[in-house]
Structure formats: C-alpha cells, structure tokens
Structure 1
Amino acid sequence: MNTTDIADTTVGENYNSYYNYDFPEPCTKEGIKAFGQLFLPPIYSLVFLFGLLGNSMVVVVLFKYKRLRSMTDVYLLNLAISDLLFVFSLPFWGYYAADQWVFGLSLCKIISWVYLVGFYSGIFFITLMSIDRYLAIVHAVFSLRARTVTYGIITSVATWSVAVFVSLPGLIFSTCYTENNHTYCKAKYSFNATQWKVLTSLEINILGLVIPLGIMLFCYSMIIRTLQHCKNEKRNKAVRMIFAVVVLFLGFWTPYNVVLFLETLVQLEVLQHCTFERYLDHAMQATETLAFVHCCLNPVIYFFLGQKFRKYIVQLFKSCRGVFVLCQSCRLFQMYSADTPCSSAHHTPSSSYTQSTVDHDLHDAL
C-alpha cells in the first residue's frame, strides 16, 4: 500500500558540517504524513460506504433476479465480489493513514494481501467482461457454445487463482515494525530491496494497466466496428456503455500507474530531486485514492446505462416498501419500453440468425 508507506525523515542539522563531507542532505518529507492524515481517512470512508452499498446491490440483484443464467452474470458477480473484497480493506488503511498500524502482524499481512487480490481480480474481471462482450457481438454464433455458465465458472476460478498468485508478495513481505515511536505496515524486503520494489511496480503497471487496456481497446474497437450495421438507439446505448467503461478505466487508473512508474525511476535513481520526490509522494496519495474510487463506479455504470439492470434495481426497491415510498416520485426510476432491434429488409438465413443473436446479447447487456 503506497499511500501509507511514506515515513517522516529526520536529519541532524549539522550532519554535513560535522563530518566535513560534501554530500547532499537526505530529502525530508515531514509534511506528507500530515497531508495523508487529513486527506485520506474521509475519502476512504466514502469509498467504503458507496462501494459496499453499490456492489452489495449488484450481488443481491444477480442472485434474486438473474440467478446466474449466463457467463456475463458470473463475471458480474465475481467483479462485485472483487470490489467488495477491495473495499473491506479500506477501513484498516483509513485508520492507518490517520494514526499508525495497531492491528498486529497477522492482520497486516492479511489486509495487504486482500487489498492486492481485490485490486488484481477486479481489473482481471473487467478485462474478462470485455472479452465476453466481444464474443457475444463479434462472434455471435460461436459464442452460443463458448459463453456458458460452466465456462464462466472455470475461467473465474482460473482468474482468482492468478490474482491470488500475483498477490503473494504482499502476503510474504508485508510486515509491521516500529520506528521513531510509529508503527508501520508495509512491504519490507530482507534482500535485493530495490529490485523487488521495481519488480512490484512493473507488475502493477503491466498486469494492472498495459495488458488489460490493450485487450479492452481491441475488443471494444471490434465491437464498435460490428455495431456499425445496427442503426438504432440500442446500438447507441451499447456504444455509450463501452465508451463509459473505457474512459472511466483510463481516467481512474492511468494517473496512478504513471506515478507508480515515475516512482520506479526514483527507486532506480534515474530521477533524483528532492522537490520532485515530495510532489511525487503527494501525487501517489492522490492518484491511488482516485483509483480506489473506481470500485464504486461499476454499479453506477450498470444502473444508468443498463436497462435490464435498472429494471431489477427498481424491482428490488419495490420489494422494500419503505425505501420505495421515498423513491417512487423520482423520475430516475421511470422505465421505458425496449427499443426495436436493428433489422434490414434483406437477410440471408445465416445473417438473420447472427443479427438476432447480436440483438439478444445487446438487450442482455443493456
């Protein structure tokens, strides 16, 4: 966890003059911890509350109404669980940012590991959902055989296994220790510390941004290309959802990965300037917190851009009479009739079959 790993540095005022060496004084960062104490706890609390509420509603809807009847439902469930796993670690990090680590060594290792598992699995399942949409729309006939609940469960188990494996360094190397009357919880390497820090940063950049973004851009560019044949509002809704997913992913994760890459250059001593390092530490706190917010946004995307999901949310509120009475006058929950599927006056039997399959998957996604 980067935002809480920044320790204050105290330096003797007469260090250089006493030893008569012409070395630069170590970079002091006294204000960074104070900035984190003020800025991070309330943000973490809000992310925790909204992430818990939104993703819990997704889980309830999937079990109560959709009953996991498709690969998409399986991936949505796992994505919500990933986000929940991630937000469950935030109260611990919030308290840590405000004060110090008081939860002991075991929880330090477990929470660090849970945080990383939620981080990686969430991004992996967003990527899998991109592939799922790609198969459903671009390879509609093939997807009838490939996009089953069984394959969804198998790929989900494999994805969780990969997320657990790549998160093991967080479990192994995370430790708590006391320094200058302050207890820390962070990764501490007994050998090759610089190499491990660089490898960890590169792992997050490659597995957390470069590979997922490449897959998403390919899948969604092919989807948009296929949807050019569908000239109605349903196509426009699908394109809007695609645009929202990609833009939000880029907007919330790219700044964090860029700062992490710059921090890697600092670790390698490619960049060495005290003022720059101070700005970089502040940027790490801000961009990592911005990335945390992304786990709250998936339910929002599904609600505002997904017609079927919005319908289920309304039904869920209707089943809770007290809540629905407060919301029934809100125009946000008004339902609209389904759009007419895109069609053409002339289709061969195979193209008609493919087109109807695309329409069905568009309707299911929306």
Structure 2
Amino acid sequence: MTSSSTESLEVEVSTYYEYYNDYLDAPKPCSKESVKRFAASFLPVLYTLVFLVGLIGNVLVIVVLVKYKRLKSMTDVYLLNLAISDLLFVLSLPFWSYFTIEQWVFGTPWCKIMSWIYLVGFYSGIFFIMLMSIDRYLAIVRAVFSLKARTAFHGLITSLVVWLVALSASVPELVFSESFNERNYTTCKPKYPGNFTRWKLFSTLEINILGLLLPFIVMTFCYSMIIKTLVHCRNEKKNKAVKMIFAVMIMFFFFWTPYNIVIFLQLLEITGVIRDCQVSRNLDYARQVTEILSLFHCCLNPVIYFFMGEKFKQYVKMLFRNWWLPGGICKWCGVPITYYTESTSSFHTHSTAEQDAL
C-alpha cells in the first residue's frame, strides 16, 4: 500500500470516529411520554371539578349582583366583571380536558377561540382585581374625592377600558394558535412565524409583567396606603370591607405566582439556559400542577364573597327562598328561612308555616 493510500485511509477512519463520537455526544430527544400519562390521569378530573364549582359559583354571584344589588356602585360593577372573567376560564375547560386525554380534534378555529378566551379571562380577571384594590383605596384613603369618582357609570367606563386592554393583549394568542400535527400527535398551541424564541420571550414577559408584576405594584401601593389610613381611623365597617378585598388579593398571588414562575423557567429552557432533560420534564409536571392551582382561583372569589360578605349571604338565602325547589324543601321540612326586606332595610325570620298563615 502506498503512502498516499495509507494517509487517505487514516483520514477516513479519523473522520468516522469523529462523526461517531459527535453522534454519541449529541443531545438525544427528550421523551415526554410520562408527562402525557401524568396529565391524562388526573387533569380531566380536576378540570371537571373546577368547571362545575366555578360555573355554579360565578353564575350565583352574577345572579345575586344583577337581581338584588342592581349594580348601584362601582364595586358592584367590578365584582360582576370579575365573575364574568372567571367564567371565561371555566367555559374553555371541557375542551382542554378532552385534549389531555386525546388529541386536539376541534380544529384550528376552536383552537384559536379557546386559547383566546382563556387568556382574555386571565388578563381581565387580573385587571379587575387591581381595579377593586384602587376602588378600596379611593373609598378609604380619598373618601371625599371618591364621592364623585366611585359611581356605577365610572365603573362601566373603566370596565370597558379593561376589556379592550385584555382583548388587545390576547390578540397574539388568537392569531398564532393553530391545530397541527407534531410527532404524530395533533396539538393546539401557538405556532409563531420567524424567530420562535423571540415571540416566546415576548409572550412570557407579557404574562409575567401584566399578570404579576403590575398587579403587585398597584396592590402594594393601594393596601399600604389603606393600612396607614386605618391605623389612624379605626372603623369596623371599613375593616370588614378591606378584609374581603385583602382575601381576594392574597388568594390571587398565592394561586397565580407559582404558575408565572414556572413559565419563566420554561422560557429559560427554550433560550438554552436549561438543557437537562429531567429538569425539562419536571418543569412540565410543575406547569400542569401550577396551572390547575391557578384555575382553582376562579372558584374562590364566590366563596370569599359568601363567607366574608354578610349581605351576600342574605341575598343568596333570598335567592334560594324564591326558587321553588329549595323553597319547597324548606317548607316541607319546616326549616326557618331568613330573608331580607329591602324596603325596610331589616332582616326578619319566620317559619314557612307562619308565612302561609299570613
């Protein structure tokens, strides 16, 4: 064998080993089958639970506010819009529940609509909680100014602005969400054109800023000023009102902060900062759990109103007393019914038998 042929053989062998070593060192596809099985095993049950509780609770809030409160104040307007925002979450859950079990079978139009509704409900709910904080700030810290500012009309105007902002912030989800085949699996998620990382960075930062940072700044300012005012002016009625809004705020941060942290960490994975496959799977598990935790938040506001608002309890009792099924059961059992007479602004208690005799 000549020297030239020997050198050629050595080059080929060297190239082969370099290619083989590079192949061994190359990152292997990260299997997410265990994540899919985990989602299919428990997410449909939790989605169904959130759907039922959130639907019943928020519809009850809307009925009470419209039927009895008649939206006479800015606070009532904000509470109504917050309940509508929460309903947007729960109405999309049956679709996502089926998606966790099977593939996305509803096509691109419904993929766009459901993704959009979900994000609109997310942003609008956050913004209305912020407006409720500002409303409490005006009522307690700027009491004189609030006499003119805190009207139902101004509540309707600011609510309209909030819905427009929430709809605008959710436009990318409506435009880019698609149903397409990915690794023999039909999915529904945003399909960004051009630079995927840049669009994902924009989307994640938008959620983190509008969904967590901005509410934190606004609520911290409002409630710090409220606490400062209440220290110098103790009022039992004001304290009760603030407790309810505080509960709404604390619950919001408790249920939404973990989700925002996880999606930010997943952004680091997309940009290449996090490369470990097991870490990637753990983030997928964490996103599923924290997303369910955040969805449970839409069920909590009605519970907070019922247990912390005395008038809300009475309105709910009135609603059930006037509804034929619970009223008939109470009449048959002889259970006393408490109701509210708005004309005299007082509460009365009679048994159903005494009411029939009158």
Task: Please show how residues 103-182 of structure 1 align to structure 2 within 5 Å.
Answer: 103-182=106-185
SS of residue in 2 equivalent to 1:272: coil
Cα 1:73/1:235, change in 2 over 3 Å: closer
Equivalent position of 2:292 in the other structure:
289
Give the structure, 1 or 2, with the largest relative contact order (CA under 8 Å, sep 6 or more).
1
Q: Which has the higher helix share?
A: 2
Change (3 A) 1:297 1:327: farther
Larger radius of gyration: 2
Q: Relative to 1, partners in 2 of residues 1:137 and 1:104: Cα closer, same or farther, differing over 3 Å? A: same
RMSD: 2.2
CA distance in 1, matches of 2:303, 2:75: 17
Conserved? CA contact 1:74–1:149, under 8 Å: yes
Q: How far apart are residue 95 of structure 1 and its match?
A: 0.6
User: Match for residue 226 of structure 1?
Assistant: 229
Instruction: Give 1:81's aligned amino acid.
Output: I
- Asked if 2 retains the 8 angstrom alpha-carbon contact of 1:224 and 1:239, the reply is no
- Given residue 203 of structure 2, which amino acid in structure 1 is its aligned partner? T
Residue identity in the other structure for 1:245: V
1:175 partner SS:
strand
CA distance in structure 1 between the partners assigned to 2:319 and 2:339 by the alignment: 14
Per the alignment, residue 56 of structure 2 pairs with: 53
Aligned residue in 2 for 1:3 = none
Q: Does 1:269 align with 2:268?
A: no
Q: 1:176 to 1:326 in 2, by over 3 A?
A: same
Deviation for aligned residue 1:230: 4.5
Residue 93 of structure 2 corresponds to residue 101 of structure 1: no
In structure 2, what is the Cα distance between the partners aligned to 1:158 and 1:216? Answer: 19
- Alpha-carbon distance between aligned partners in 1 of 2:293 and 2:49, rounded to the nearest angstrom: 12
Among 74, 78, 87, the alignment partner of 1:75 is 78
Secondary structure of 1:269's counterpart equals coil
CA contact 1:220–1:242 (8 Å) conserved in 2: no
Q: Specify every segment of 5 or more residues in structure 1 that has no aligned partner in the other structure, as ranges.
A: 1-15, 337-366
Q: Distance in 2 between matches of 1:181 and 1:24?
A: 21
The aligned length equals 319
Q: TM-score, normalised by structure 1?
A: 0.82
Q: In the aligned structure 2, how far is the partner of 1:57 from the partner of 1:235?
A: 25
Residues 140 and 238, structure 2, Cα contact 8 Å, conserved in 1: no
- Is residue 79–residue 126 contact of structure 1 (8 Å, CA) maintained in 2? yes
Shift, 1:141, TM fit: 0.8
- 67, 88, 91: which one aligns with 2:91: 88
Counterpart residue type for residue 140 of structure 2: I
Structure 2 match to 1:299: 302
Q: Deviations over 1:147-205 (max 9, x none)?
A: 11221111111100000000001100000012343211110112110111111111111
Q: Which residue is 1:207 aligned to?
A: 210
- Secondary structure of the 2:319 match is helix
Hey, what's the Cα distance between the residues in 1 that align with 2:251 and 2:62? 22
Q: Is the 8 A contact 2:314 2:338 kept in 1?
A: no
